[in-house]
Amino acid sequence: MSLLIQYTLIFASVLMLVALGGCFSEHSGVINLGLEGIMVMGALGGALAMNAMGSASAVVVIVGTIVVSALSGLVYSILLAVASINFSADQTLIGTAMNMLAAAAATVAVKSINIAENPDNVSSTVVYGAAKKSLIIKIGSFQLSWLTIVAVVLLIASYVILYKTRFGLRLMACGEHPQAADSVGINVAKMRWAGVLISGFLGGLGGITYITAGVSEWKFETGVAGFGFLALAVMIFGQWKPINIALAALLFGFFRALSNVYSGFDFLAALNIPGSIYNMMPYIISLLVLAFTSKNSRAPKAEGIPYDKSVR
């Protein structure tokens, strides 16, 4: 049972971070379908940083991993911001292209690094086992990741920023009625840039949180198993509200964790259900949830619509 709770918390942390990133972007008026790719780039930066830090002190590893992975995601999200805000490109196409590019770019980058270090090593795997130990907090037999604690802190910060600060209220105004926001002196393009960059920051952090869940190395050819899209489902189910997103993330995280530990429960093992079914459950649940709740979903009114100052 403790293992189920551990995995639930770690997967819920991933989904919550990435969904919050999507929440900021969409509240500003930009649809971020590139969260999957942002996760991959954040995971790449964080994994390489952990690999480089090796046996450094715990504080250095924790801070370094968080900073590098978050900045990697932020930098990659600039592609979406430039294309969708500055050039008014189709946000759906840009996000899809970012997802395709990230997995390929990460794989090539890691293989190139491995070949440079060892000409016989053409693997796309980054090993970070030594540094990963610094991310773990042991409480008796229970293990908790520092990244989970960071996720909770960022959840609280996201709620405060969106609903209790001038910046957050202006950001949401740009996603609801950008023309009205512009008429009172709010720079819509600037706010949308901020929303996209924040989504990149959180998405990158979600990426490193995902790949360090129980493993000490990662093969980047596998990507992040659709967690970016699953996070979008969490965001929609959570109605673009941080607290609701956190609750939705726990629900989806539970089903994802169940696929990791179902064999440890006798009553589940006795059902003789193939493991692949448990692996599919989070995605099946997401389809069912969206099918029954999408009609009542209220997305920001101006999301996905390039801002044109001449339109009133």
In order, the DSSP letters of 238-299 are TTT-HHHHHHHHHHHHHHHHHHHHGGG-HHHHTTT--HHHHHHHHHHHHHHHHHHHGGG---
CA distance 233 to 255: 14
Mean pLDDT of 75-92: 96
Pair of tokens at residue 270: 């006795």
Taking only the tens place, the pLDDT of each residue in 111-126 is: 999 999 999 889 999 9
Taking only the tens place, the pLDDT of each residue in 296-307 is: 788 899 999 998
Taking only the tens place, the pLDDT of each residue in 18-76 is: 999 999 999 999 999 999 999 999 999 999 999 999 878 999 999 999 999 999 999 99
Report whether pLDDT(197) > 70: yes
Residue with tokens 């003789």: 272
Of 126 and 312, more confident? 126
Strand partners of residue 136: 145
Residue 129: CA count within 13 A, CB half-sphere: 5
Taking only the tens place, the pLDDT of each residue in 160-196 is: 999 999 999 999 999 999 999 999 999 999 999 999 9
* pLDDT for the residue 224: 93
* pLDDT for the residue 152: 97
* pLDDT for the residue 100: 95
* pLDDT for the residue 261: 75
User: What's the Cα-to-Cα distance from 19 to each of 46, 119, 249, rounded to whole Å?
Assistant: 19, 40, 8
pLDDT band at 139 (very low <50, low <70, confident <90, very high): confident
Residue 101: exposed, middle, or buried by beta-carbon count in 10 A (0-12, 13-18, 19+)?
middle
Pair of tokens at residue 136: 């773990």
CATH of 2-296, one of 1.10.3470, 1.10.357, 3.40.50, 1.10.10: 1.10.3470
127's enclosing H/E stretch is strand 125-127
Mean pLDDT of 276-286: 81
* pLDDT for the residue 101: 96
Report whether pLDDT(155) > 90: yes
CA angle 307, 32, 9 (to 5 degrees): 145
* pLDDT for the residue 92: 94
Report whether pLDDT(215) > 90: no
pTM here is: 0.94
Taking only the tens place, the pLDDT of each residue in 221-275 is: 889 989 999 999 999 999 999 999 999 999 999 988 887 776 556 556 666 777 6
CA distance 37 to 63: 23
Report whether pLDDT(276) > 80: no
* pLDDT for the residue 265: 62
* pLDDT for the residue 96: 96
Listed residue (246, 262, 150) closest to 206, CA to CA:
150
- The residues near 309 (Cβ < 8 Å, ≥ 6 apart) are 179, 182
* pLDDT for the residue 200: 98
pLDDT band at 287 (very low <50, low <70, confident <90, very high): confident
Pairing state of beta strands 217-219 and 125-127?
antiparallel
Report whether pLDDT(79) > 90: yes
Domain ranges in the chain are: 2-296
CA distance 23 to 29: 10
* pLDDT for the residue 229: 93
* pLDDT for the residue 256: 87
